[in-house]
Amino acid sequence: MNVLITGSNGFIGKNLKISLEKLKRFNIIDFNREHSEEDLLIAVKKAEIIVHLAGENRPENNEAFEETNHMLTKKICKFCSEKDTKTHIIFSSSIQAGNDSQYGKSKLAAEEELLKLKNNSANFVNIFRFPGVFGKWCKPNYNSVVATFCNNVANNLPIEIKDKSNKLNLVYIDDLVDQILEVINSPLDEVFVDTKSVHQKTLGEVAEIINSFRKNRTKLYVANMEDSFIKALYATYVTYLPKENFSYDLISHEDERGVFVEFLKSKLFGQVSFLTSNPGVTRGEHFHHTKLEKFLVIKGKARFRFRSLDNNEKFEIFTDNEKLQVVESIPGWAHDITNVGENEMIVLLWANEIFDEKRPDTFSHEV
């Protein structure tokens, strides 16, 4: 199936094009600024579906709004009306369509051209009025405050906020692309399509979340990935990091027993760490009232010993990297772990809470 994407080099266009190419059942036809009107005519004649994303947001002069947003759409409609076959057109309008700005007026004029085409031909039209769109490859300091904030915070540049209470309607690029794909596969009867998965946030909220990403990264704190907006915003933020910041250092606590390294922390899921032990070394020898731990030996051989504080019952578990067995600490049972192999032992460790020096819930006890 031939799909023409106008503005395929733009933010939304690039994301959509990659998703369509991965499906391997669409032939993509590109149309961008470097193409001519004749190129457009040829492309429209070939296309069964047109995703019309090309547009001006911040041109050097207002005439470009009319030329690109309105007149380009008018040309596409003219070429579609002259075809022998019908075309499904998906148009990216804006929630600003019809307002007093030149941009809003030009988008409304483009919508009207598409409505005339639909009413006077067999061509099929779906129109999205997009809110603010954010995600990878969005251009900062252009038309997205999210892109600007992410870029500036990731690169230690200041951000300016005039009104923190200013309300934003935002949609993540992956959610938007998924919805466009749905409409491509199943054209809707209604002309105007409501954008799904829109997040309503204030400017202050967005700035605060993005700033927290930078502050918490080296503190090992992970954002709440159960929140779909925060998950999408973090995925966007890291794409603006300079390459030298793709990595960051961890602190290794080393003594004669081996090393202990904290990796990730979250108020939701607790803490992930790893430890090493030299042959014959025993770690632990403590108990918890409420704190839970899960151990996974990924290198070497381990013996876990347990003693009940209730009835003094004892037992042992032996495991190694070939068995890949999770061993859990149980509240009220003292426990330790000994490297019973001949080489270094490495153990992954998850705890259901972040270590708190004031309330460690870790008490020494003989096992």
- Residues tagged active-site: 103
Name the nearest CA neighbour of 258 among 353, 366, 337, 354. 337
Chain-centre distance of CA 61, in angstroms? Answer: 34
Return d(Cα 73, Cα 82) in angstroms, integer: 14
User: Alpha carbon of 320 to those of 24, 256, 259, 278, 294: distances in Å?
Assistant: 44, 22, 19, 14, 15
284, β-bridge pairs: 336
User: Alpha carbon of 325 to those of 274, 294, 321: distances in Å?
Assistant: 16, 10, 8
* CA neighbours closer than 13 Å in the CB half-sphere of residue 358: 0
Burial 162-187 (b: 16+ CB within 10 A, else e): eeeeeebebbbbbbbbebbbebbeee
| C-alpha torsion sign, points 200, 204, 205, 210 | positive
Q: Is 155 helix (H, G, I), strand (E, B) or coil?
A: coil
Cβ neighbourhood burial of 96 (10 Å; 0-12, 13-18, 19+): middle
Please report the DSSP string for 279-311 in residue order.
TT-EEEEEE-SS--EEEEEEESEEEEEEEETTT
How big is the chain by its Cα radius of gyration, in Å?
Answer: 29
Name the nearest CA neighbour of 322 among 292, 299, 350, 354. 299
Using N-to-C axis directions, what is the helix angle for 203-217 and 145-154, rounded to 10°? 20
| Residue 181: φ, ψ to 5° | -65, -40
| C-alpha torsion sign, points 41, 43, 46, 51 | negative
Q: Is 78 helix (H, G, I), strand (E, B) or coil?
A: helix
